[in-house]
Structure 1
């Protein structure tokens, strides 16, 4: 039976996940910035009080801070860690202006900003490619080997041996496609295109919803059609094909994130499902107890999450900067400082609100509010 991690292992595992991923993300910004000739004034892993720091020969201050929940690269010409332009950059000497971030062409600024999320995706793709070479690729056909009595598939008239061609119009190439599609849609109606004895027909049904618990006692609601695959098919993956498999898997993960986020925004899922740093810390410790492979795979998932979240078009995030650069490219001039200031303040308020919400959810999942209620009662 899987044992819950202790407090020390949870903290160490969390730092071991977040620290390297933040470093990788910020290193993407830093390396592309250097390639474009921009001087970095500071490179920080974490926020808050400085635990250690040193200055390299280029004048960049490398710092490790107390709270490893993020990081930043502050380039010359930046006013703060959010990369807002400092109006005083124009007062710099010509030589200093030439190595400042605001002086660079639009495409270089966009490349520097996009490099952070891009390297997070690349990091995850390298991990998933290594897993593909080591364990192969699941290519089990999208065929119902067994149909569970009383399940959603049985109610829709699915029989053993039927091939699931598509669900709600989305093609099902493998059995994994069926599982990924159904598990995030508990209780939703579904049109099932079935192939039986060479003929195709459509069945209307509803994806089943089941409550399950993992080895750590965490409950979650997932969707199930109620079919089991036939004999598993695992194909070996060559080195040259591994990146393609990894990119496909990354695309599936990102698509699931987008669809799940859309369900939350649209009200199809509860905002209580959003987790924050405390939940990541908990799951980091749990992954660590399952072994190195599970822990490394979890790092790949978090790296994809980090890249995806940073690309959201929210000011203060990389996606917000890229949005401004897109507007600048369209209107042939930068967005006005007043609009940028308003947007950054709104973005900060939104991020703080989300952080409060996910922290509340995290504490709720730990049973804190129930314990407080018991103490007060």
Structure 2
């Protein structure tokens, strides 16, 4: 059950994220259009009815507006295809520009999204971010990882000869490898000295393994997390009134197997004043007990058990902070590789090699926006960078109505020597609308059934 505070946080984070990224995208079109002296009539964040507008008193008297539906935006240029052009405005209409100028204006939106991602990553890498070493936690029996010989505590040092230093790089490399081929080599370090290369032979399960949340469960191993071992018990709490003791390791709550401290916290928080069933291990013996939770306090509607857990982070986490030069280089390479991987994933979805469940709708984006906000400024910037790259890539796809589709249209018209016929242009726009609606339908379907 999601609390109202979580919903409001997700909604606010989503509106801020989309507002910032759409503004960046449309500003790219706007500023490059102004650079080539193309008249700008409107600059809108959002679609539909205007809820706020301001008309500039100088220059082109551009109308800046905030519209009702916050799922995009547009810049409207003066264009002879929409009506007659006054003689004094001759040469300032978008349709009167050269092919290269049109391409520059259309390409500027996605390019500004990529530039924003580089700047966001630069701030993140310069600030330094908590980074988790790629150390293996639980290994599932009879899985790919178990068959390959992976063990608890192994550290991943390479994937197909690519050096791995953190879990984020490991996950990205695993997904890229699975998308490109079926088998891969995993270099691991064991007991700080022993190194070995393990081969993963993957069957025809690439589509499943690339589904959101399926990578680790499908391969059969999980990142290391602090085990939920009780270190302290609060006096006169539900835990204190039970048989729980320091050193007990909780393994399930209400028959839900728990691998991490956070899973236990989430389950307990959602059950104030309710009876729960705990399973825990003490001295190698599995035990169970029913405990009635308290409510945290008068102003909280969260369940309270009254235990603290051991949290051994020192050997598994570090702060990764780069100098300015390295931050810039990594920001550019991160943006480039993420954009390339996004393109690959989209084409693989079309071919059926990758699950279309990876297409996120507004509800999923809002959820992750809220999670990133709660995780801190750097994590929210990383989220913005990722969405900004996706927005830039998708807008360059050769679909009518998107920037990429319009670039293709104008190149074709230039080669042909004349504009498209009204009938062909209408059909292309209808195809573009259908393609976008199909994409949105898949995204909403994934949101509703994820």
Give the SS at the match of 2:201. Answer: strand
What's the CA shift for 1:104? Answer: 0.9
Matched, 1:127 2:99: no
Maintained 8 Å contact 1:42/1:62:
yes
Give the SS at the match of 2:360. Answer: coil
TM-score by length of 1: 0.76
Aligned counterpart, 1:363: 448
Residue 225 to residue 195, structure 1, CA distance change in 2 (3 Å): same
Residue 11 to residue 228, structure 1, CA distance change in 2 (3 Å): closer
Give the SS at the match of 1:44. Answer: strand
Aligned counterpart, 2:61: 59
What's the CA shift for 1:149? Answer: 8.0
Residue 204 to residue 354, structure 1, CA distance change in 2 (3 Å): closer
Match of 1:301 among 386, 393, 415: 386
- State the structure with more CA Rg: 2
What's the CA shift for 1:136? Answer: 7.2
Matched, 1:92 2:85: yes
**What is the correspondence of 1:1-377 to structure 2 with a 5 Å cutoff?**
5-56=5-56, 57=58, 58-77=60-79, 85-86=81-82, 88=83, 91-135=84-128, 152-153=144-145, 155-156=147-148, 164=158, 166=160, 171-175=161-165, 177-183=169-175, 185=178, 189-192=182-185, 203=199, 205-206=201-202, 220-223=213-216, 224=219, 226=221, 236-365=321-450
Gaps of 5+ in 1: 79-84, 213-218, 366-377
TM-score by length of 2: 0.65
Measured in 1, the distance between the counterparts of 2:418 and 2:130 equals 48
Q: Deviations over 1:320-339 (max 9, x none)?
A: 11112333454455444432
Gaps of 5+ in 2: 225-314
The number of equivalent residue pairs is 340
Give the SS at the match of 1:45. Answer: strand
Q: Deviations over 1:192-246 (max 9, x none)?
A: 387999xx9994622899x99xxxxxx7211548598998897752223322210
Q: Deviations over 1:240-289 (max 9, x none)?
A: 33222101111232233223323322223433442212222222222222
Residue 155 to residue 23, structure 1, CA distance change in 2 (3 Å): same
Measured in 1, the distance between the counterparts of 2:42 and 2:129 equals 42
Higher helix share: 1
Give the SS at the match of 1:313. Answer: coil
